[in-house]
Amino acid sequence: MGGQRRRTISIVNLANEKADASLAADVRGANRLKFTPDGHLVLVTTHTGKDLVVIDAHTRKLLKRIPIEQHGASGIQVQPDGTRAFVACPRDHYVAVVDLHQLRMVAKIDAGREPDGLAWWTR
């Protein structure tokens, strides 16, 4: 392809451990990938992009690019009921809160210096 990276997401068949298909999602510098609890959405962050990439897992189509940061994103954690995603934006020093029904960022949580990995904990 003329020296350019394909910027795709590969779908791997776990039975034969081979890539069955690729999605042309233009995800340069893809960093993390997370499925929502219901398996409907795939969320992808990139080191170099400004958007959270949202893909429909069943149709394998790009649904939306949600602007969330200026300098790339890292960790993704989805609320157990699937209503919100939390996305670490380390170089911008916050966690973006994304409404997964409206597919838009609704808040920022000041997280101090360079947040990355996220986890959900309940008592």
Q: Does residue 106 fall inside a structural domain? A: yes
Q: Does residue 8 fall inside a structural domain? A: no
Q: What does the alpha-carbon distance between residue 86 and residue 73 come to, in Å, rounded to a whole number?
A: 11
pLDDT of residue 2: 41
Q: Rounded mean pLDDT of the chain?
A: 87
Model pLDDT for residues 18-53, shown as the tens digit of each residue: 988 888 878 877 788 999 999 999 999 988 778 899
Tally of domains within the chain: 1
- Give the domain range for residue 56: 28-110
Model pLDDT for residues 68-114, shown as the tens digit of each residue: 878 778 889 999 999 999 998 888 888 999 999 999 999 999 887 88
CATH number at residue 90: 2.40.10
Q: What is the largest CA-CA distance in the chain?
A: 53
The alpha carbons of the chain give a radius of gyration, in whole angstroms, of 15
CB-count exposure of residue 113 (10 Å: 0-12, 13-18, 19+): exposed
Tokens standing for residue 38 = 């219901």
